[in-house]
Amino acid sequence: MLTKRQNLLETIKGGNPDRFVNQYEAFVCTDAIYGMIMGDPISGQGEFPMPGGQPAKNGWGITFAWPEGTPGAFPLHDAEHKVLKDITKWREFVKAPKTDFPPEAWAPFMPAIEAIDRNEVFATAFVAPGVFEQCHHLMGMEDCLMGFYEEPEEMHALIDYIVEYELRYAAELVKYYKPDCIFHHDDWGSSLNSFMAPEMFEEFIVPAYKKIYGFYKANGVELIVHHSDSYAANLVPLMIEMGIDIWQGCISSNNVPELIKKFGGQISFMGDIDNSLIDNEAWTQESVGAEVRKAVKRCGKHYYIPCITQGGPGSVYPGVYEAITTELNQINKELL
């Protein structure tokens, strides 16, 4: 029987997997709740809200709130909390967190990293937010999108600043954790379309990720998994150009089977089990299981990983993620 790591590689290379990859199983690392390497002194600066708790300000000075019953936290962009109100003045207001921590600051995290069985799973570092998200977290979605049209030079400059921070952060992750895989968040669309036309995306976002993902690949990272739980089928050729190995979060409106047929072998797809269909208070094992079986039937075993579309192992309603896992275990038993 293949290890979880081997089975995933066979899947994304079009080889001979002996079962479906079961959601995030091949990326299980150090965090018992989330399943990935999330702790480090750089990302730990500032505060982060708990579900239903009080808003909190992170290391960039962005205030986040996490209302009870929602999938995650999102920044507050009222007049009191918006960090950047004028893109032309970003140099005055946008200050990246520090990245130059001494070895002793990393030491508490190292025993868990060293305990990872890299023959069984990928040592996976979680990185969020992404370049586009960082932009609209600072200034709000409307101002961000308008900035691409009205102040392109300033948006390019701000993105360059964010990329420089990401590269400094990446250098420290590589130095201390030596991850095999990077799981990187950056939502690029709604359920119906991408936030930017491919031409604009190619101008502003692609060069940034070619630098970031190129750095990781040049420094020992085997897999780049990018999360965007959205429509982004129109961006897949650009994802391939960036160096993404697996697009996680591909919701069913992307026509995932068609993407697999067209791009399988260049990139793989992880998702097609939409939160919007199953992650609700009325879920049952039967209702979840039915969606799982539809997904694996239409997508097949090559270049596809069946998975909840949210960006990490878990669900808004307790038990939904585990119900998917249970169904996939049953499907895999039936294949033996």
- Which tokens hold the place of 138? 């600072």
- Give 60-85 pLDDT, tens digit per residue: 999 999 988 777 889 999 999 999 99
Handedness of CA 62, 67, 72, 78 (dihedral sign): negative
Backbone angles phi, psi at 331, to 5 degrees: -60, -45
Judged by DSSP in three states, 60 sits in coil
- Give 152-199 pLDDT, tens digit per residue: 999 999 999 999 999 999 999 999 999 999 999 999 999 999 999 999
Residue 5 has pLDDT above 60, yes or no: yes
Closest CA relative to residue 200, chosen from 237, 162, 149? 149
Q: To which residue do tokens 């702790």 refer?
A: 39
Query: What's the whole-model pTM score?
Result: 0.96
Q: What is the pLDDT of residue 167?
A: 98
- Give 250-267 pLDDT, tens digit per residue: 999 999 999 999 999 999
- Give 197-254 pLDDT, tens digit per residue: 999 999 999 999 999 999 999 999 999 999 999 999 999 999 999 999 999 999 999 9
Q: How far is CA 34 from its chain centroid?
A: 12
Q: What is the pLDDT of residue 51?
A: 87
**In three state form, how does the secondary structure of 226-244 look?**
EECCCCCHHHHHHHHHHCC
| For the chain, the helix, strand and coil percentages under 3-state DSSP, each to the nearest 5 | 45, 10, 45
Confidence band, pLDDT 50/70/90 cuts, at residue 39: confident
Q: What is the pLDDT of residue 32?
A: 40
Q: What is the pLDDT of residue 30?
A: 45
Q: To which residue do tokens 């270049």 refer?
A: 303
Structural contact between residues 183 and 196, judged by C-beta atoms closer than 8 angstroms: no
